[in-house]
A and B are shown apart, each in its own frame.
Chain A
Amino acid sequence: MSVVPRPGLPVIALVAAALVYPLAFGSPAAINVGVLILLFAALGTAWNLLGGYAGQISFGHAVFFGIGAYTSTVLLKEAGLSPWLGMLAGAALAALAAVLLGVPTFRLAGHYFAIATIVIGEIAHTVVRNLDAIGGARGLFLPILPTSLVNYQFHNSRLPYYGIAFGLYALALAATLMVERRRIGYYLRAIREDPTASRSVGVSVLQYKLAAAALSAALTAICGTFYAQYVLFIDSDSVFPLSLSILIALTAILGGAGRAYGPLLGAGVLVPLSEITRIAFGGTGRGADLVIYGALIVLISVAQPGGIAALGDALRRRLPQPA
């Protein structure tokens, strides 16, 4: 079986859509939404590796996001290290953290594990906020450098960020598709469905879960570095909060966890939804946007618990099948 997926129709469609989007809607607001969609799609896809495929529901992924953002930023400020190299360092650190955290926690049952991830996230959030050595509560301002790819900063147009975000998503998607088709993918799905049976046929449950966790963490951290370079300011509240962890998980769950394209669908709905409601209603100060956002999430989950992808399946079943 081939290691690199041959570009199938969905991939081509994806690339085409991504190219068309900024050409059709060039305003900075639209580009920003596009960047956010791709960023969350990437984050959700990374989460999916652990949550959807390996079955470990994590509500603490912001930890890896934050590790990525802080590692590359601190290395940039203290050692002048290129953010691209810092990104790799962040990814490595996050993967290590995932393994260290996974060993004691993976044997916890579903709900306990989820709460443990929330708790670990909150610990990280508080600790980093109080660590003055890396900015503490004041956060870190990234030095403003001239626009260039090497500097990983673009000031006049946000389009290059859009391109990089697409690259991040493509990377996460490629990782997912590879995992799906290689042995590890089968093992992970087996583990998710029935860990005991898997163990009984000699599959090392822990080993594969840790591998999935490490990969998921590394990809998430890379997105963290992207965020730092995009906003040029980070603090504990913006990269480590629980709300971000939940949003990442939600993106995958809404789209359909355990499916390669699920997170993209999820991000494609959640991000514009949140942006429209905030722009249209947020200015009144009465939280009308939260009402709509929350109501929609509830309605979608009640009407189609399997997520958007399941909705897609249900629709597809109604379409006439090819002869």
Chain B
Amino acid sequence: MEIVAQTVASGVLLGLILALSAAGLTLIWGVMDIVNFAHGDFLMLGMYASFFAWAVLGLDPLLALPGVVAALGLFGVVVYLGVIRPVLRGSVLAQIFATFGLGILLRGVAQFVFTADYRQIGDTMATGSFAVGPVHLGLPQTIAALGALIVSGLLFALLDRTTVGTALRATAEDRRAAELMGIDTRRMFALAWAVGAGCVGAAAGLLAIYFPIFPDVGAVFGLLAFVTVALGGFGSVGGAMLAGVLIGVVTSVAGLIFDPAYKFTVAYLLYLVVLVIRPQGLLGRA
């Protein structure tokens, strides 16, 4: 029984981080219908940023977090201006192509500049573990999960309570109508990229506390992020959160019940089943 409790707990922790990274992705997707196929590689960049803040500047990753978020947010705007905006007038296929190429480019640059060596942040403020009854929770993972919750909360607040947030949501819902209402949709797009990338940066900075960092690390989380977004419903940040936790728990528990080599397969199958029954995802717009 404690084994199940442990497994579920770990699944929730992982799921929250997944949720945060997916939140960034779904925001961009919802506002401008662009799938950022380089999403995983944005995460990778954020992790490297966090690593070097620690290795070179001696900053604990938690302290470096705001910096990483800002850096990634800025990077998101640069990508929007340099790559996305020109490609908006092309077909959906060309847009996919552009972000996909960007992903390869980022990975190549990372390998070129940082080499393919695995980096790991050593002991930080968040090292160790603690027990809640029979369940052991790693401190890094717990802090990362808490961080994810906090940042997601901030994201909610931004979208729900601020004028800017409302404008973003309006653009996501109906671009034409938003334009007619006087919202500068192009600025909304840039903002979506800034905030979306910033969320990824937060997830990255939190992950970097305990996860190894290498040029291909984006591949690990990239697909899971897409599945999380699709499961939650494109454009729905709440959906992304819910789906993230769900995927985290399902994969963890599946590893106990079935051969662990298939634990992601179970999550993928779940996604397919949900999609057939409810194509817009859990909380997506119909």
Contact = CB atoms under 8 A, between A and B. Distances in A.
Contacts of A249: 96
Interface in A100-140: 104-105, 107-112, 114-116, 118-120, 122-123, 126-127, 129-130
Contacts of B234: 111-112
Interface string A263-284: 0000000000000000000000
Contacts of B115: 286
Contact of A257 (B93, B215, B279, B281): B93
B156 interface: no
A307 interface: yes
A246 interface: yes
B264 A297 contact: no
Interface in B67-126: 82-83, 86-87, 89-98, 100-112, 115-116
A301 B108 contact: no
A143 interface: no
Contacts of B279: 107-109, 112
B259 interface: yes
Nearest to A126: B265
A149 interface: no
B264 A301 contact: no
Contacts of A295: 101, 105
Contact of B90 (A116, A126, A246, A305): A305
Contacts of A291: 105, 108-109, 112
A294 interface: yes
B177 to A, nearest CB: 20
Contact of A246 (B92, B100, B259, B269): B100
Contacts of B271: 115-116, 119
Contact of A104 (B90, B98, B106, B276): B276
Nearest to B277: A104
B139 interface: no
Contacts of A285: 116
The secondary-structure label for the interface of chain B is: helix
Nearest to B92: A110
Contacts of B275: 105, 108, 112, 116
Contact of A123 (B95, B109, B268): B268
A194 B1 CA distance: 54
B223 interface: yes
A127 B229 CA distance: 24
A95 B234 CA distance: 31
B272 interface: yes
Interface residues on A, range: 35 or more
Contact of A306 (B90, B103, B108, B259): B90
B91 A298 contact: no
Given A107-B279, A294-B102, A287 B116 contact: yes
A294 B105 CA distance: 4
A31 interface: no
B230 A112 contact: yes
Contact of B272 (A119, A253, A297, A298): A119
B111 A307 contact: no
B257 interface: no
A290 interface: yes
Contacts of A297: 97-98, 100-101, 104-105
A130 B104 contact: no
B213 to A, nearest CB: 16
A259 to B, nearest CB: 12
Nearest to B233: A112
B265 A305 contact: no
A105 B279 CA distance: 9
Interface string B260-286: 011011001101100110011100000
A305 B112 contact: no
A292 B111 CA distance: 13
Contacts of B272: 104, 116, 119-120
18 contacts: A107-B279, A111-B230, A112-B275, A114-B35, A118-B226, A122-B264, A123-B269, A126-B262, A287-B111, A287-B112, A288-B108, A289-B108, A290-B105, A294-B107, A294-B108, A295-B101, A298-B83, A302-B98
Q: Which 8 A-B residue pairs are closest in the complex by CB-CB distance?
A: A305-B90, A290-B108, A297-B101, A294-B105, A287-B111, A294-B104, A305-B94, A291-B108
Interface of A: 51, 57, 104-105, 107-112, 114-116, 118-120, 122-123, 126-127, 129-130, 242, 246, 249-250, 253-254, 257, 285-298, 300-303, 305-307
